[in-house]
Amino acid sequence: MKVVQIKCPRCQQPINSKVKDLAFYCSHCRTMHVRDGGVNVIDFDIAEFNPGAQQDRVYMPFWRLFTNFNINQSKSAGGAIYKLGKFLGGGSNSGNVFIYIPAWETNVSEFKHWAIGLTEAQPMYSLRNDFNNIERTPTVVTREEATQMADFVIVTMEAEKPGTLQYLDYSLNVQDTRLVYMPYVRGQNGFAPGL
């Protein structure tokens, strides 16, 4: 595997990293930056593991998009819109929704599974300061790509219940992006949540 050495844009400390990871973490000053054309220091969270999750820990990166959502008009067989209605609550037509975009290399079905899983069941987590040498899966999706996928996640989520959604006219604005490292443990059937 090819390793490159680059410098932290904040403290100039050298960082060794695998080239395929867009996100670089400086353990000296705890800065995360991405190299996706430019060099950009970003906001990020490292979620704490459940103390019970001891074995085979791994961090998976998600872009968490803080969005403002407005439904202009909708029509569905069941009356109310299915998932978004729950987020927005009380018959409201607008509100804020966190959308989680898997940032590692996935295929379409995995992408849907992970994106919808976390977006539907918004995780609660406490923060930690450092990765503490736990492996992290490389980030390959840029912030811009993640922002472009927000619509795909919303529409896929609403279309999950076949035949329900007939018409949805909405606007979605991404107000903030953050790279969130979520804890998982490797098991026989793939990854299990480590929260």
Footprint of Zn ion (CB under 5 A): 8, 10-11, 13, 26, 28-29, 31
Considering the complex, what minimum distance in angstroms separates the CB of residue 31 from Zn ion? Answer: 5
CB closer to Zn ion, 10 vs 186: 10
In 3-state terms the chain splits into helix, strand, coil percentages (rounded to 5) of: 15, 45, 40
CB closer to Zn ion, 32 vs 118: 32
CB closer to Zn ion, 8 vs 157: 8
Classify residue 51 as exposed, middle or buried by CB count within 10 Å of its CB (0-12, 13-18, 19+). exposed
CB closer to Zn ion, 11 vs 39: 11
Instruction: Please give the distance of CA 71 from its chain centroid, rounded to a whole number.
Output: 23
Which tokens in the block code for residue 88? 């927005």
Considering the complex, what minimum distance in angstroms separates the CB of residue 7 from Zn ion? Answer: 8
| Pairing, β 57-76 against β 135-136 | parallel
Considering the complex, what minimum distance in angstroms separates the CB of residue 177 from Zn ion? Answer: 21
Asked if 151 and 66 touch (Cβ cutoff 8 Å), the reply is no
Considering the complex, what minimum distance in angstroms separates the CB of residue 139 from Zn ion? Answer: 18
Q: How many residues does the chain have?
A: 195
